Amino acid sequence: MRVRLAAALVVALLPVLLLGGLQSLFAFRAEADLRRQSLELAAGRSAAIAHARIAAAGVLLQTLGPGSVGLECAQRLADVRARLPGYANLVRFDARGRVVCAAATTPPDPTRAGRAWFRELDAGSDLVVASAPGVIYATEPSVLAAVRASGPGDKFDGAMVAVLTLRSLRLETANRFMPNGAEIALADSQGVVFTSTDPSAFDAPPPGWRAKANERGAVLWSGKDRNKRSRAYSAAPLTESGVFVLLSAPAPGLLSWAWINPISRLILPLLAFGLALGAVLYAAERAVIRWIIYLQRIAAIYARGRFTV
């Protein structure tokens, strides 16, 4: 009897457990949405910081432009590089892509004048950020920012280039906007990552991501990284020349989320269910089952022909 009553009570109290499960599911979805919003905000913030740094580099290059010729050009650029952290190199190229002077050793590149970033400057762009400059200009992850140098009559006269380290762009994962486990990267317009804090955390973005990022300022999607782990991604445009900031954060599943939040999301519903079941069983034992068993004993005595207890 007790087993049947307990089973009936479990069925009766099952909605309590179901409501707790639904509450946990809704909380999981709300937290996932908040995490995605944080990722989007973090992408926009990182892009704004990096863009400000690149814009400052562009102003610096324009300021240095008129003085980037002559015998003391290399020493002048070296002095500026020594005073301003974050610059791996400062270089002045002529209209054919040849090095006029530089603050540090510059790798040779016979086809520099044909590179996409150089041709953009020749076509009239004032500032270009090169995601793939063609050769390696620094010994650590970096990006190349170039401004157009003009001669008489606004004729193209080469480029002033600043090689910015990734550290100088302040693409950091440790700030209050970033979800735990987030990684950050810079990518070109095709989604190809050219520098990142963890390359394995990124993979090819979905079709149409670039247009949405340019239209909305940021775009979100979910996918798998190179290790086939589920992650949430966000992208924000860094420059008009097709460089994007990508963020990647782990996308926890419902079970792993419940394991991380056991007290508020898993234990409390089970505890409420157990307490309700125990209270009902105790009350039924004292008020019902006890008297039913007593009456069964009396009925058994009467069945044996005894009419006194």
Q: Where are the domains of the chain?
A: 53-165
CB 137 within 8 A of CB 163: yes
pLDDT at 267 over 70: no
pLDDT in tens, 76-122: 888 888 888 888 888 889 889 999 888 888 999 999 999 988 999 99
Give residue 182's identity as a one-letter amino acid code: A
Rounded CA-CA distance 97/27 in Å is: 58
- CB-count exposure of residue 153 (10 Å: 0-12, 13-18, 19+): exposed
Give residue 116's identity as a one-letter amino acid code: A
Q: How much is the mean pLDDT over the chain?
A: 75
| Residue 241, both tokens | 């020349």
CA-nearest of 214, 175, 201, 237 to 42 is 175
Higher pLDDT, 112 or 195: 112
pLDDT of residue 21: 65
Q: How confident is the model at residue 17 (pLDDT cuts 50, 70, 90)?
A: low
pLDDT in tens, 34-51: 666 677 677 777 777 777
pLDDT in tens, 122-170: 998 888 887 678 888 888 777 888 888 888 888 888 888 888 887 776 5
Domain 53-165: CATH superfamily, name plus number:
PAS domain (3.30.450.20)
pLDDT in tens, 207-260: 888 888 888 888 888 888 888 888 888 888 876 667 788 888 887 654 444 444
> In sequence order, what DSSP letters do the residues of the chain get, joined into one string?
-HHHHHHHHHHHHHHHHHHHHHHHHHHHHHHHHHHHHHHHHHHHHHHHHHHHHHHHHHHHHHHHGGGS-STTHHHHHHHHHHHSTTEEEEEEE-TTS-EEEESS-----TTGGGSHHHHHHHTT-SEEEES--SS--SSSSEEEEEEEEE-GGG-EEEEEEEEEETTTTT--S-STTSPTT-EEEEE-TT--EEEES-GGG--PPPTTHHHHHHHHS-EEEEEE-TT--EEEEEEEEEETTTEEEEEEEE---HHHHHHHSHIIIIIHHHHHHHHHHHHHHHHHIIIIIHHHHHHHHHHHHHHTT----
pLDDT of residue 260: 47
Higher pLDDT, 101 or 178: 101
Look-up: residue for tokens 């910015």? 164
Over residues 66-75, mean pLDDT: 68
Inter-CA distances, 147 with 76, 79, 97, 109, 162, Å: 18, 20, 13, 18, 9
pLDDT of residue 237: 84
